Structure 1
C-alpha cells in the first residue's frame, strides 16, 4: 500500500489545531472536576440540613434516646423526585435507633464535624453524610450519630450543566479558530501553490530562473538553490550544444575529404596512384584524429568541468622541463632550436597535472608548428613577484597583429594566410585550462622583435 505523502498544510493544521484540541480536553476535565466539587458543596449542605432535622426528632426516654419520626415526616424529609435518600440514626453506644438498617456503618467512626464521602447503598453509588449531633437544643451530650445518603442524579446533572456552560462557548470558539486557521494557512501557502504551478507549467526546455517575487522567506533559499541548479544545467546544455555544433562544423570537411580520397583510390588501377591516395588518406585520418582529440579536450576543459579537476601541489619548473623534453624529437625533425630556461628553485602551484601537460603541449606544438625551419622556440619558467610565477613560450613564427591578439584565443579562429594545418582549437584549449587554474594568459611580441611570446601567469601555492 502506498503511503500518503506528507503535506505541509496538513502538518501546519495538525501543529496549530492539535494543541487546541488537547487544551479543550484538559479544560473539559478541569471544568468537570470543578463543577462536581461545586455540586457536592451545594447538595452536601442539603444533606447536612436533613440530618439536623432528623436529629431534632430524637427524644430522651429517661436516659435512653428514642427516634420519634412519623412516616409522614420521614417522607417529607427523604422523598425526592430525582434521587433516593436513606438515613440511619445510631445511639452513643452504637444502638440502632431507626432508619434503614442496610446503610453501611460509618467509615470514620464518630466524627466531631460532619463528614462527607462516597459510598454504595444497595449497589448504587451515593454521597454519604455522617455527623454526631446533640439531642434537643443543647449542644452537649448525649449525642447520636446520624447518617444520610443520597444517590448522585442531581449532582451529576448540575455538574454536566455547569460543564456545558463552560465548554460549549470554548468549543464554539475553537471551531471558529479552526476555520480562521484553515483559511489563514491556505492563504499563507498560496505562494507555494503558485510556485508549484509555475514550475509544473514550464517547458522542459525553459531553464530560466524562477521568479522569486512574493516567495516566502523560508522557501526563498530553496528557490535560489533551484535557480542556481537550473543555471548550472543551462551552462552544461550550452556546453553540450556548442560542442555538438563545433563537432558537426569541424568534422564535416575532413570526413568529406576522406570520402573523396576513398572514392578516388577506388577508381585508380595504377598501384603507384593507389599508394599515393592511401598516403593522402593517412594524412587526412591523422588530421581528423587530431581534430577529434582537440574537440574532446575542449569539451573536457569547459568552465563547467571544475568538478573533474584534481588539483595537487606541482612544481611548474620541473613539469615544464619534462614536457619540453618530450618535444625535442619533433623540434629536431623540423630543424627547430628548442630550448628551456628554468628557475633556480621550485615553482609550486596547485594544478591538475594532466591538464597542465595539455596546456604546455598545445603552446609548444603551436610554437613549433608555426616557426620556420631553422628558427627557435624557448620555454621559460620563473617567479614574478612574491605571489605568482610565469610560464612563457617564445617562437619565431609570423607576428600576430595587435588587432588579432584579442581573438587569437577564440575557437576556430585562424590567421589569414597561414599555410599550416590546424583547427584553430589549440589556443582556445590553452585559454580554457588557464581559466580553470585561475591563471591569466597574455600574448606579446618576442623580446628580439621576431615572433611571439605566450605567457601564462599562475598564482603561487601558499607556503
Structure 2
C-alpha cells in the first residue's frame, strides 16, 4: 500500500491542533479527578452524619452498649433514591451491635480505636463498589463514656453522576472553544498557504520549454530560498539546453558536407568498371571516412567539455611534466611521417596540478596535432613545461607554421573558425576543445609568435597544486 503523501497543510494543522487536543484530554482528566474529590467531600459529610444519627440510637447499659434502632427509623436514615446504604455497629470488644454482618472489616488500621473522627476509602460490599466511612464515636454519659465503631457504606451512583456533571460544566465550554479555534486555525492555514497553491499552479501550467524565472513577488519568505534555487536550476538547465541545441546545430552543419561527399564518391565508385578507378575511389572513400571519423571524435569531445561539465569532472593530482612527456612520445611516429622534428623540454621536476588526466591529455594532443598539421615539412615542434612562479606552471607548444595575425588570435579559439589560405584540412574544433578544457581547469591560454620569429607558441598556464 502506498504511503500517504506528506502535506504541509496537514502537518501544520497537526502541530497546531494536536497540542490543543492533548491539553483538552489532560484538562478533562484533571477536571474529573477534581470533580470526584469535591463530590466525595460533599457526600462524605452526609455519610458521616448518617453514622452519627445511627450512634445516637446506641444505649449505654451496665452489660454493655446496645443498639436500639427501630425499622422505621432505619428506613428513614438509610433511604436514598439513587444509592444503597449499608451500616454496621461494633462494640470495642468486637461484638456486633447491629447492621449488616457481611460488611468487610475496616482497612488501613481503622478497626482499632482512634481519636480520628472518621476515615473514608473505596471498598466493595455485596459485589458493588462503595464509599466506606469508618469512625469511633462515643456513647453514654460524659462521666463514663464508651466508644462504638460505626461503618456506613454507600454506592457511587450519585457521586459519579455529580462528578460527570461538574466535568461537563468545565469541559464543554473548552470543547466549544477548541472547535472554534480549529475552524479559525483551519481557515488561517488555508489562507496562509494560498501563495503556495498559486505557485504550484504557476509551475504546473508552464510549458516544458519555458525556463524563465518564477516570479517571487507573492512568495512567502520561508519559501523564497527554495524558489530562488529552482530559478537557478532552471537557469542552468537553460544554459545546458542552449549548449545542446548549439551542439546539435553545429554537428548537423559539419556532418552534412562530409556525408554528402561520401555519398557522391560511393555513387561514383558504383558507376566505375575499371578496377584501377574503383581502387582509386575506395582510397578516396577511406580518406573521407577518416576525416569524418576525426570530426565525429572532435564533436563528441567538444560536447563532453562543454561549460558546466565541471560538475561531472573528477579532479586528481596530476604531474603535468610527465603527462606532457607521455603525450609527446605518442606523437613521434606522426611527426616522423610528416618529417617534423618533435622535441620535448621538461621542467626537470614534477609539476603537480589538480586536473582530469584524460582531458589534459586531450588538450596536449590537440595542441601537438595542430602544431604538426600546420608546420612545414622539415620544421620543428617543441613541447615545453616549466615552473613560472611559486604557484604557477606553463605548458608551451611551439611550431614553425604560418604566423597567425594578431587580429585572428582570439577568434581561432572559436568553434569552426579556420584561417583562410592555410591549405590544411580541418574542422576548426581542435583549438575550441583546447579552450574549453583549459576553462574547466581554471587555466589561462595565450598565443604569441615563437621566440625565433617563425611560427607560433601556444601557452597554457596552470595553478600548481598546494602541498
- Give the alignment's TM-score, normalised by structure 1: 0.90
Whether 1:422 aligns to 2:426 is yes
Secondary structure of the residue aligned to 1:462 is: coil
The alpha carbon displacement at 1:64 in A equals: 3.8
The alpha carbon displacement at 1:409 in A equals: 0.3
| Match runs of 1:290-309 below 5 Å | 290-309=294-313
Q: Residue 246 of structure 1: which of 250, 264, 270 is its match?
A: 250
Once the two structures are overlaid, the 10-residue window that deviates more, 399-408 or 191-200, is 191-200
Structure 2 unaligned residues grouped into runs of 5+? none
Deviation digits for residues 417-446 of structure 1 (CA, Å, limit 9, x no counterpart): 332111111110111111122111111222
Corresponding position of 1:126: 130
Q: In the aligned structure 1, how far is the partner of 2:81 from the partner of 2:143?
A: 33
Once the two structures are overlaid, the 10-residue window that deviates more, 355-364 or 141-150, is 141-150
Report the CA distance shift for 1:207/1:147 in structure 2 as closer, same or farther (over 3 A): same
Q: In the aligned structure 2, how far is the partner of 1:424 from the partner of 1:120?
A: 104
Once the two structures are overlaid, the 10-residue window that deviates more, 150-159 or 14-23, is 14-23
| Match runs of 1:248-287 below 5 Å | 248-287=252-291
The alpha carbon displacement at 1:413 in A equals: 0.7
- Asked if 2 retains the 8 angstrom alpha-carbon contact of 1:56 and 1:136, the reply is no
Report the CA distance shift for 1:116/1:256 in structure 2 as closer, same or farther (over 3 A): same
Deviation digits for residues 265-304 of structure 1 (CA, Å, limit 9, x no counterpart): 3333344433333332222222212211211121122223
The alpha carbon displacement at 1:387 in A equals: 1.1
The alpha carbon displacement at 1:390 in A equals: 1.2
The alpha carbon displacement at 1:392 in A equals: 1.6
- Asked if 1 retains the 8 angstrom alpha-carbon contact of 2:140 and 2:146, the reply is no
Report the CA distance shift for 1:311/1:67 in structure 2 as closer, same or farther (over 3 A): closer
Q: Residue 449 of structure 1: which of 447, 453, 467 is its match?
A: 453
Whether 1:202 aligns to 2:186 is no
Secondary structure of the residue aligned to 2:428 is: coil
Q: In the aligned structure 2, how far is the partner of 1:53 from the partner of 1:414?
A: 125
- Asked if 2 retains the 8 angstrom alpha-carbon contact of 1:133 and 1:145, the reply is yes
Corresponding position of 1:165: 169
Q: Residue 354 of structure 2: which of 350, 355, 361 is its match?
A: 350
Corresponding position of 2:49: 49
Q: In the aligned structure 1, how far is the partner of 2:344 from the partner of 2:147?
A: 130
Q: In the aligned structure 2, how far is the partner of 1:95 from the partner of 1:345?
A: 117
The alpha carbon displacement at 1:253 in A equals: 0.6
Report the CA distance shift for 1:139/1:366 in structure 2 as closer, same or farther (over 3 A): farther
- Asked if 2 retains the 8 angstrom alpha-carbon contact of 1:134 and 1:140, the reply is no
The alpha carbon displacement at 1:231 in A equals: 4.0
- Asked if 1 retains the 8 angstrom alpha-carbon contact of 2:59 and 2:140, the reply is yes
Corresponding position of 1:91: 91
Q: In the aligned structure 2, how far is the partner of 1:298 from the partner of 1:367?
A: 19
Secondary structure of the residue aligned to 1:303 is: coil
Q: In the aligned structure 2, how far is the partner of 1:409 from the partner of 1:154?
A: 99
Report the CA distance shift for 1:139/1:217 in structure 2 as closer, same or farther (over 3 A): farther
Whether 1:112 aligns to 2:115 is yes
Corresponding position of 1:319: 323
- Give the alignment's TM-score, normalised by structure 2: 0.89
Report the CA distance shift for 1:278/1:151 in structure 2 as closer, same or farther (over 3 A): closer
Q: In the aligned structure 2, how far is the partner of 1:412 from the partner of 1:139?
A: 132
- Asked if 2 retains the 8 angstrom alpha-carbon contact of 1:111 and 1:130, the reply is no
- Asked if 2 retains the 8 angstrom alpha-carbon contact of 1:112 and 1:131, the reply is no
Q: In the aligned structure 2, how far is the partner of 1:279 from the partner of 1:373?
A: 24
The alpha carbon displacement at 1:307 in A equals: 4.7
Task: Give the total of aligned pairs.
Answer: 463
The alpha carbon displacement at 1:362 in A equals: 1.4
- Asked if 2 retains the 8 angstrom alpha-carbon contact of 1:88 and 1:99, the reply is yes
- Asked if 1 retains the 8 angstrom alpha-carbon contact of 2:57 and 2:67, the reply is yes
Whether 1:389 aligns to 2:393 is yes
Whether 1:80 aligns to 2:84 is no
Q: In the aligned structure 2, how far is the partner of 1:140 from the partner of 1:248?
A: 128
Corresponding position of 1:36: 36
Report the CA distance shift for 1:427/1:105 in structure 2 as closer, same or farther (over 3 A): closer
The alpha carbon displacement at 1:53 in A equals: 2.3
Secondary structure of the residue aligned to 1:82 is: coil
Once the two structures are overlaid, the 10-residue window that deviates more, 213-222 or 328-337, is 213-222
- Asked if 1 retains the 8 angstrom alpha-carbon contact of 2:137 and 2:148, the reply is yes
Q: In the aligned structure 1, how far is the partner of 2:322 from the partner of 2:127?
A: 106
- Asked if 2 retains the 8 angstrom alpha-carbon contact of 1:337 and 1:375, the reply is yes
Q: In the aligned structure 1, how far is the partner of 2:88 from the partner of 2:350?
A: 115
Q: In the aligned structure 2, how far is the partner of 1:128 from the partner of 1:149?
A: 4
Secondary structure of the residue aligned to 1:408 is: helix
